[in-house]
Structure formats: structure tokens, C-alpha cells
Amino acid sequence: MTRLQNLLLGDTTANRVVPPSGFTASLTVISSAAMAFLAVFAISLFLAAGELSNRWEAELSGTATIRLPVSETIDDQVTNVLAALDQTPGIVSARRIDDSEQLALLAPWFGQDIPLGKLRLPVLIEVEETQAGPDVEGLSNRLAAEAPGAVYDNHSRWRIPLVEAADRLRNLALISLLLIASVVAVTIALAASSALAANGQIVDVLRLVGAEDRWIANAFTRRFTLRALGGAFAGAIIAAIAVALIPSGVDAGILSGLGFRGGQWLFILSVPCLAAGLAFLATQIAVARRLKEDG
């Protein structure tokens, strides 16, 4: 705890012993800002792709319909089909939609008194699928054998590749975040390391008066952590504004999910904090290593 306290508050000399400016300062601030900007977009993409995938996935699970063309042996066919469905993995339940229900479904279009018998409407079987759903191709073959002309219509199965694409997109966003984090860490480690080299005289003086490596490392770490925090904060805010300005409204697929909602705004605040954490670790490690090398 005292270590953290020393590090964050420090005494005034320790705060100022590393020169406030220099190219490593601008490098750290600018790259943190740029990376935070990118990180906010990656997070936004990650969230949007996740939501899209969940939504589509939710629509997937659910119902399918089997249409059987009317024929002489329709009732036997229905019985056979129901028996077959009963043994098919991926099917939760199946039931025939009776005439009165079908009538109710059609009523809005054709009115109450439709002569169903004359229309020769196909018989419908409503099927409830599991999340994973059945093997549609195998099932279709089976149905064709039981009832020629039967059609298995699972409404939204065409969205499976879309869900996969959304999942893939989310993973890419995650990988981008990891890459951004590594670039930040490496850049700051290099900046800290070269700041240390550029300030060799200061390090010599500190050593002469008995500063331990940790004290020196903390002095540099404090500077670089604050720089990264400041830069990343600016970059994240700018990106957040840019995201907020993306027009939203109608369901536009991935685009409609790009904004941040409610608690998701906290993700933006976490970006500068994470950048500061990364800067802290990167500087500590880089400086400690460098001090040891100097002997």
C-alpha cells in the first residue's frame, strides 16, 4: 500500500526528477491517445458484433414448419412424420396445426368463412427446435420418404452464416484490442527505456546520492503512467464523441449496434485506466531491466 502511495503521490522532488518534456513524452502521449482512439472503436465493434450475434442467435432457435401437400393418405403421412420427428435429435416437439388454427391464421387475409376443404391447403406441422436444431438435410430426406413433397421450413436458418460472421467479427475486435494493448506496452517500454538512456546524468546523480533502483524506476514510472493516462483519456473521449455521432435509428445490422448504451460507457473510461496500467507495468519492467544492465 505504501508502495502504491509513494508511487502515486510521491514527494515533489521524486515527481519532478524526470524531465517533464522531451520526445519520449510526446511519443507516449500521442501513441496512447491514438491507441485509445482505436481501442474505443474496437470495443464498440466488439460489443456491436456480440449483440448482433446474440440477437440473430435468439431468432434462430425456435420454430420451424413442415408443409405436407394434401393427398389421399395425408393422415397416415402426418402420423408417420410425427413419429419420425419424435426420434429426430434437435427436435423438442411437433404437432399438427388443426383446421381451426389454420383458419385463424388465414382469417386476416381471407375473412372468416373460407371453405378450407375446397382450397386444398397443405397440412402444417409446427416444430419446436432445440438451440442447435436438427440436421436439416438428413431430416428433409427422411420426410421426403414419409411424405413426398414435404417441405421443412426453418425460417431463419439462413442466418447461421451471419451469426458465424458476427462471432468472427467479435473475435477480430478482441484480437485488435489485444494488439493495440501490446503496441501500447511496447511503445511505452521503448520510450521509457530511451528516456532512461537520454537522462543518464540524472540517473548517475541519483545513484551517487544513494537512490535504489526502485526509487529511480518509480520516478520514471510515475511520469510515463501519467502521460499514458492523459493521452489515452483524450483519445478515448474523442473516439467516444465520434461513436456517439454515428447516426443510429432503424435496424441497420452491425451499424445500429455501434453506439454505447448505458453501462457500456464505462468501457470507454476503462480504456485510459488500462492504458495507465499497461504503462505502469511496461515502464517498471523496462526501467528495472535497463538499470540492471547498466551495472
Which residues make up the interface to another protein (CB under 8 A)? 6, 11, 13-14, 16-17, 19-20, 201-202, 204-213, 215, 291-292
- The length of the chain is 295
Q: Smaller CB distance to another protein: residue 200 or 253?
A: 200
Shortest distance (Å) from residue 1 CB to another protein: 15
Q: Smaller CB distance to another protein: residue 115 or 210?
A: 210
* Phi-psi label, residue 284: left if phi above 0, alpha if psi -120 to 50, beta otherwise: alpha
Shortest distance (Å) from residue 271 CB to another protein: 32
Q: Smaller CB distance to another protein: residue 11 or 113?
A: 11
Shortest distance (Å) from residue 213 CB to another protein: 6
177 contacts 46 by C-beta, under 8 angstroms: yes
Q: Smaller CB distance to another protein: residue 5 or 100?
A: 5
Q: Smaller CB distance to another protein: residue 3 or 118?
A: 3
Q: Provide the grid cell at 247.
A: 447516426
Shortest distance (Å) from residue 193 CB to another protein: 18
Shortest distance (Å) from residue 218 CB to another protein: 11
- 3-state secondary structure string across the chain: CHHHHHHHCCCHHHHHCCCCCCHHHHHHHHHHHHHHHHHHHHHHHHHHHHHHHHHHHHHHCCEEEEEECCCCCHHHHHHHHHHHHHCCCCEEEEEECCHHHHHHHHHHHHCCCCCHHHHCCCEEEEEEECCCCCCHHHHHHHHHHHCCCCEEECCCHHHHHHHHHHHHHHHHHHHHHHHHHHHHHHHHHHHHHHHHHHCHHHHHHHHHCCCCHHHHHHHHHHHHHHHHHHHHHHHHHHHHHHHHCCCCCCCCHHHHHCCCCHHHHHHHHHHHHHHHHHHHHHHHHHHHHHHHHHC
Q: Smaller CB distance to another protein: residue 47 or 287?
A: 287
Task: Give the separation between CA 243 and CA 41, rounded to whole angstroms.
Answer: 8
254 contacts 169 by C-beta, under 8 angstroms: yes
Q: Smaller CB distance to another protein: residue 173 or 203?
A: 203
Q: Smaller CB distance to another protein: residue 209 or 250?
A: 209
Shortest distance (Å) from residue 16 CB to another protein: 6
Shortest distance (Å) from residue 292 CB to another protein: 7
Task: Give the separation between CA 143 and CA 164, rounded to whole angstroms.
Answer: 28
Shortest distance (Å) from residue 53 CB to another protein: 53
